[in-house]
Amino acid sequence: MFLENLTKLEKSLWNSHVEFMGVDNGMAEMYAQDRNDVIEVKERFNRGHMGSLKSFIDRMDTHPREGVVLALADDLGSDWVEKNLGWSVN
């Protein structure tokens, strides 16, 4: 299944990484790691590993985690997010 909004988040984080390269390498690295986390979320979802997906998302930094949860709600619905991840999205 193609997760359009999660893919948009991944691309946005990549663009932020590129924007900060050579200007603020610490920020660039942060965005690169956040993007890697989004890629990991997509891979776990595509493998059907919902238990490890939930625990991985729960351990993410706050800002990228919120982006992932909202993107998944847009892609799969807020009911899916609440049932599988335990997050309520209004």
Q: What pLDDT was estimated at residue 1? A: 76
Give the pair of three-digit tokens for residue 33.
């790691």
Burial of 51 per CB tally in 10 Å (0-12, 13-18, 19+) = exposed
This prediction has a pTM of 0.92
The one-letter amino acid code at 59 reads R
Under a CB-based contact definition with an 8 Å cutoff, are residues 47 and 15 in contact?
no
Under a CB-based contact definition with an 8 Å cutoff, are residues 34 and 61 in contact?
yes
The one-letter amino acid code at 21 reads M
Model confidence pLDDT, tens digit, residues 47-68? 999 999 999 999 999 999 999 9
Mean residue pLDDT of the chain comes to 96
Q: What pLDDT was estimated at residue 90? A: 81
> Which stretches of the chain score pLDDT less than 50?
none
